[in-house]
Amino acid sequence: MLEVEAKFAVPDTSRIRARLNRQGVRMTRRQQERDVYYNAPHRDFGETDEALRVRYDDTGVTVTYKAPKIRVGSAKAREEFNLAVASGETLEEILSRLGFRRAATVSKVREFYEMGEVTVTLDDVEGLGTFIEIEILTEVGTEDAAERIGAVAKGLGVDGPPIYTSYLEMLLSRQR
């Protein structure tokens, strides 16, 4: 499965939330997420553009591997594998014993809006600010997905350049 997404910094999510509501799109859920990122002992994920994440949220714990990003028009795509785990603490202990090192933790409050196959999230990321992400999960047709994401962004009045770096990359660049 490929995740195709575009992310934009927004000074105020209330304008976008109001536009979503005017279009009849309601929030499906709001949750707190704490993402703990790890780096491998045998290669640097910062150099290979990969990510290994343990996500704690209101629904449980998920481990995610993200392959390197691919630019698709004004969006990015990356292969992603997710697996629910019973105990994040146990998983983190296993990773530690295997030599994986914590790289950073990203905390955010996220609102989800579903528009058919398009998911819109409004994110308030601790230490970074507020953002909108528009994404489509697909097995094929990344160019088409990127075009649809662009149309949704335009329809929501989102302008400005898309951000291709992850929240992790943004956070790490501020710490340097």
| Residues acting as catalytic residues | 37
Distance CA 80, CA 104 (A): 19
With the C-alpha atoms ordered 133, 138, 143, 147, is the resulting torsion angle positive or negative?
Answer: negative
**Tokens 């990510």 correspond to what residue?**
51
DSSP code string of 96-148? HHTT-EEEEEEEEEEEEEEETTEEEEEEEETTTEEEEEEEEEESS-HHHHHHH
Q: Where are the alpha helices (DSSP H) in 6-87?
A: 13-22, 45-48
Residue 31 near residue 59, CB atoms below 8 Å? yes
| Cα–Cα dist 68/119, whole Å | 21
Contact 51, 166 (CB under 8 A): yes
